[in-house]
Amino acid sequence: MRRKRTLFLASLATVAAVGTAWIALPASAAASTATLRTVSDWGSGWQDEVVVTNGGSAATTSWKVEFDLPAGATIGSFWDTEMTASGSHRAFTNRSWNGTIPVDGKVTFGFVGSGGQPLNCKLNGRPCGGDETTVPAAPATTAPAVTPTRTATVTPTTAAPVPTATATATATATKTATKAATVPPREDLLPVTVTNKTGRGDAVHLYVLGVNLDTGKLGYVNQAGTFTPWTGGAAVPVAAPDVSINGPANGGSTTIRVPRNLSGRLYFSFGRKLDFRLSTDGLVQPAPWAGGDPNHDILFDWSEFTVNSSGLWLNSSQVDMFAVPHIVSVTGGSGTTSSTGEVVAGGRQKVINAIKADADFAKSVVTGPDGTVLRVLAPGKAADAGLMSPAYLDPYIASAWKAYTSKSLTVTPFTDRPDVKYTGRTSGDVMSFTDSSGKVVASFTKPSTANVWGCDGALGAPNDQVVGPIARTLCAALQRTTLGRLDVQPSGTAADFYQGSPANLYAKVIHANMTDGKAYAFAFDDVQNQESLVHDGDPRTAAITFSPF
């Protein structure tokens, strides 16, 4: 889930110690060393940092660190370095301002990539670590989650929206009810009421899964609010115990108590229970876009949440798919109820019809054996499943990237800090950004369509105050096809979005069919507050309401 600046996935890694892999030159050399560590690993990508240390007797005037990448690996954004690529080989050299390293001094640079970790390190042309050429990666300390979890099958957590300091804006719901006559009392366990207004007769099954923020353990919550850690995972995933909660029949409601220091997902399925598995790495969650997933023919969806000492964040997510439209709401200590995520009348079918009518997107509508439309896959998931072109956005990306060879892009990523500005220009396939002093602070290789759909790879956003905020701004602008047209980012209004060609029809029609225009149609849809998220610092009750369809 992404909100304010971005909310990152929490995992067991947040309580893990940071390891460091040392890569040392032979003692007879200039005695410089290089150190690689993995700062974050979120399954579909990772952030690495390299420290070059001058242990010699004289200052250096330049440095060069080289790696090979294993098959399928890529490196996208990078900072405090220049990068050149030749096949699978990557060479990192100093910027103009950080080539000189005094005796015992250090220089640090970083990059975001995906796939396997770098191999065969060289520092200034000499092998690192003698005969040992493999550069092992250190354990991660944080895991950005693709906003709502955007990948894969085995994940160390469900989802964990956790607010951070780098905020683009404060998320606000656009529908706010009048204050209640009686303010609900504050309870140790947060009551979350699920109401079924679908008009459907299917049995409903609910699941509350997440990470205990006090212990870092993954587990599930029963209806009464008791958290139980998972146990019994295996190298070959085994069936998780049935932890479903009976959900409401049409027209009814079910209330679940949720512990106040939990971050995760509330799943809901119709007609059949979901199939969860446990591995040694964590919980295997439903991924119906993946071949062979046992949940492919089940109608289901989820909301994502974090409830902690700073309050409740709750969102309806369409980052991976659009399936069961639902309203999320929270009532706070002031008695005010905020809500978002409501579709217009017939909105689900309108989204389906619009997607079916477009030849490029039509196959992303997935129908069950009985003819029920189970979901519309987000374009990245549809491309992964072979249901749409993996190069769909390439012509637009190339045009937008090239536009800044002859003009400048201004990125102002913080609405509360308008004085923070970065200027971007493109040279070849690399767009580099300078700060107000003219110092190059970040560079991005031209992203692929997959990088834009996932806001990862070349657009990977580390959890920092510079590169991450620029990356998420670029991704949002490319998703909305405003990059190349609007030269200050973020900027524009909803009327300016999705006007380029080719455009993200999926995001466009979902936003168009929300009563308040808000949705989480891609990972950084919170840029300019376009996301379907509610937050209250003193939550008393929360609710999820399934819309008619």
Whole-Å CA distances, 384 to 73, 140, 320, 378, 388: 17, 26, 11, 10, 8
Torsion sign over Cα 413, 415, 421, 426: positive
Residue 119 CB coordination number (10 Å):
15
The CA distance from 82 to 65, in Å, is 10
- Name the E strands within 43-174: 46-53, 64-68, 74-79, 82-86, 89-93, 106-114, 119-123, 126-127, 154-155
**For this structure, is 304 an active site residue?**
yes
Residue 371 Ramachandran class (φ > 0 left, ψ -120 to 50 alpha, else beta): left
Catalytic residue among 48, 304, 456, 526: 304
Place of tokens 């409401």: 248
Strand partners, 211: 218, 263
Catalytic residue among 301, 320, 456, 531: 320
Torsion sign over Cα 152, 154, 155, 158: positive
Place of tokens 């399936």: 323
The CA distance from 297 to 317, in Å, is 20
Torsion sign over Cα 407, 413, 414, 419: negative
**HEC-encoded secondary structure of 190-225:** EEEEEEECCCCCCCEEEEEEEEECCCCCEEEECCCC
Would you give the DSSP letter of residue 462?
-
- The token pair at 339 is 């809500």
Is-contact 210 155, C-beta < 8 A?
no
Residue 21 identity (one-letter amino acid): A
Where is 478: in which H helix or E strand?
Answer: helix 467-479
Would you give the DSSP letter of residue 350?
H
**For this structure, is 132 an active site residue?**
no
Phi first, then psi: give them for residue 15, nearest 5 degrees: -110, 10
The CA distance from 366 to 355, in Å, is 11
Nearest one of 413, 396, 393 to 454, comparing CA atoms: 393
Radius of gyration, CA atoms only, the chain:
24
End-to-end CA distance of the chain: 25
Would you give the DSSP letter of residue 150?
-
Residue 210 CB coordination number (10 Å):
29
H-state helical runs in 480-539: 505-512
Q: Could you give the residue numbers annotated as active site? A: 304, 320
